[in-house]
A and B are shown apart, each in its own frame.
Chain A
């Protein structure tokens, strides 16, 4: 699964630390999600969706291997 969190974060001019604090996770978790090493839970995906003001499908995309 790929995601556009880094882009969305750049649009809002937020650091990983800012985003982590806003949704209540560690900076490392944000980094892992951005690098596609960790797939977030539905709750976390919805929090990100709410923060970026975009649907979950616009932020997370399934790949052929998923």
Chain B
């Protein structure tokens, strides 16, 4: 009984952690990411953008990258699974380091360049998540190329 409960929980967890979208979602993900990235860049140039649209575009970028990350390869075999694992772990570590170091860099650069007092501020969730997902997608591409 105890064993079967453990097995059932393990199966559920395995199913959840190995969830993948069909391969064609990769194109959808890149399209969402590309369109929202262009819009975000336009809103950086145009003065006083609508904050709601700007927020939706930023979330759209995250959704696009997440869809790319979850999209299945044409042949999803054990080597691809291993490369995914390596890319995810490296992206996670880089993400944490980025969240810790980047605010300090911003602060010290601010102190050095500005004569006015600079305040220390942590990165927002968007910046950290964007960085982690982007690093994951790029590392996965790189690992696949050199595999």
Interface residue ranges, A against B (CB under 8 Å): 20, 24-26, 28-29, 32, 37-38, 40-41, 43-44
Contact = CB atoms under 8 A, between A and B. Distances in A.
Interface residues of B, number: 10
B77 interface: yes
Contacts, number: 31
A38 B77 CA distance: 12
A40 B78 contact: yes
A24 B78 CA distance: 10
Among A29, A40, A43, the most chain B Cβ lie within 10 Å of the Cβ of A29
A26 B80 contact: yes
Contact of B147 (A32, A40, A43): A32
Interface in B38-84: 73-75, 77-80, 82
Among B78, B79, B80, the most chain A Cβ lie within 10 Å of the Cβ of B79
B144 interface: yes
Contacts of B79: 25-26, 28-29, 32, 38
A24 B77 contact: yes
A4 B79 CA distance: 19
B131 to A, nearest CB: 28
B73 to A, nearest CB: 8
A59 to B, nearest CB: 17
Contacts of A25: 75, 77-79
A37 B77 contact: no
Given A25-B75, A38-B147, A43-B78, 9 more contacts: A20-B75, A25-B79, A26-B77, A28-B144, A29-B75, A29-B77, A29-B80, A32-B147, A38-B79
